[in-house]
A and B are shown apart, each in its own frame.
Chain A
Amino acid sequence: MPLGYFLGLSAFMFTVGVLGVILRRNALVIFMSLELMFNAANLVFVTFASYYQILTGQIFVFFVMAVAAAEVAVGLALMVAIFRTKRSIDIDQMSSLKG
């Protein structure tokens, strides 16, 4: 399979993730779009690990997964804490710092 197939698929998935962060207002869906972007980056890592026959890319994918898990744990805890005080997770309502 040519390299461009995987790179194109990854680029498209990354763009959909960026669009999700820009367009959606539900903070949980924005988090999911972040995960989609991580996933696209991981796909490129694995593709080049196979292309150049170097295992380091796959090790880095493993580290990215672990850090993403940590990020999701803290992020969802923050969502729950914000929901407790504001009764909503609409990011347009999180404007208390606005002057």
Chain B
Amino acid sequence: MPVIGTIFYTFLAIVAVGSALGMLINRNAIYSALFLVLNFATVAVLYLSLGAPFIALSQITVYAGAIMVLFLFVITLLGAEKLPGYEPIKGHRLVAIVLAFVFIAELVLFFFFRNQVTGPIPLIGPEFASPKNIGVLMFTEYLLPFEVVAFILLSATVGAIMLTKPERKVTTKLSQQQD
């Protein structure tokens, strides 16, 4: 691997890890959301380097564009960017961090101790994951999941509207007669 590639991937890894940690540590929820946007953009660049341009651009539009704007909107709507800081259970943070280290150690050990040799990721031409190929696959082999996902999105939209609708006063016939 040439030096420039190593520098590129190291830089991306540092930005991704740093923005994830920034999201975790920052006390202000708005800064957390902005760090998460940076993380999504970095992962989108990784997708591009893996030869997945369609997924990379959907990541930018759907995650960084739509979902995070919704998050920022709700944070500012509720005025809930900061909560008073205290530790509800004693030793809660220490135990959580120890558990996280155990979890990541398990993952690393699994990667090293399975008996299968992994090579480098092969170079991929632009034709492999072009939007045309993805569209053809999605509308032939994966047509049923596509329709199901469309229905899930529709029902989620209806559910969100129903949940946030302000409660109307129930006007029964009895109360109308009393008026």
Contacts and interface: CB of A to CB of B under 8 A. Distances in A.
Interface of A: 1-9, 11-13, 15-20, 22-26, 28-29, 31-33, 35-36, 39, 42-43, 46-47, 49-51, 53, 55-56, 58-59, 61-63, 65-74, 76-81, 83, 88-90, 92
| Among all A-B residue pairs, the 8 with the closest Cβ atoms | A70-B156, A77-B163, A77-B160, A22-B96, A16-B20, A11-B107, A73-B160, A3-B118
A18 B59 CA distance: 21
8 contacts: A3-B120, A3-B121, A19-B100, A31-B71, A36-B20, A36-B39, A72-B71, A92-B88
A18 B133 contact: no
Interface of B: 1, 5, 9, 13, 16-17, 20-21, 23-24, 29, 32-33, 36, 39-40, 43, 46-47, 49-52, 54-55, 58-59, 62-63, 66-67, 70-71, 74-75, 77-78, 80, 83, 88, 92-93, 96-97, 99-100, 103-104, 107-108, 111, 118-122, 124, 128-129, 133-134, 137-138, 142, 145-146, 149, 152-153, 155-157, 159-161, 163-164
A67 B71 CA distance: 16
Contacts of A80: 74, 77-78, 163-164
Given A2-B120, A55-B137, A70-B152, A9 B29 contact: no
B115 to A, nearest CB: 15
B78 A83 contact: yes
Chain A contact residues: over half helix, strand or loop, or mixed?
helix
B88 to A, nearest CB: 5
Nearest to A50: B50
B117 to A, nearest CB: 10
Contact residues of B: prevailing secondary structure: helix
B121 A51 contact: yes
A58 B52 contact: yes
B74 A32 contact: no
B132 to A, nearest CB: 11
A5 B93 CA distance: 28
Contacts of B133: 55
A9 B99 CA distance: 18
A65 B52 CA distance: 15
